[in-house]
Amino acid sequence: TRGASPLSVYISSFKAAQGDLFVAKMSAAATATVLPVMLAGWAAQRQLVTGLTLGAVK
C-alpha cells in the first residue's frame, strides 16, 4: 500500500524537530511491536520443544 513503512521506521519517526525523543511514544510502540511475538512464542512453546526433541539425532 502507498505510505506503508516498517515498524522500525515508524518507531524512529518519534523525534521532535529539535532532536528530542518522545520516549513514552517510542516505548509504547516498541512494546506493541514485541508483545505479539512474545505471546505467540509462549503459546507455541510446548510444540516447539516437542518438535526440537523429536528431530534430535541420537
Kindly report the backbone phi and psi dihedral angles of residue 6, in degrees, each rounded to the nearest multiple of 5, phi listed first: -65, 160
Kindly report the backbone phi and psi dihedral angles of residue 52, in degrees, each rounded to the nearest multiple of 5, phi listed first: -70, -40
C-beta of residue 29 within 8 angstroms of C-beta of residue 11: yes
User: Which pLDDT score, from 0 to 100, does residue 8 have?
Assistant: 78
**Residue 2 located in a structural domain:** no
**Residue 15 located in a structural domain:** yes
**pTM score of the predicted model:** 0.57
**Residue 34 located in a structural domain:** yes
Q: State pLDDT tens for residues 4-58.
A: 888 878 877 777 666 777 888 888 888 988 999 999 999 999 998 998 888 877 6
Our count of domains for the chain comes to 1
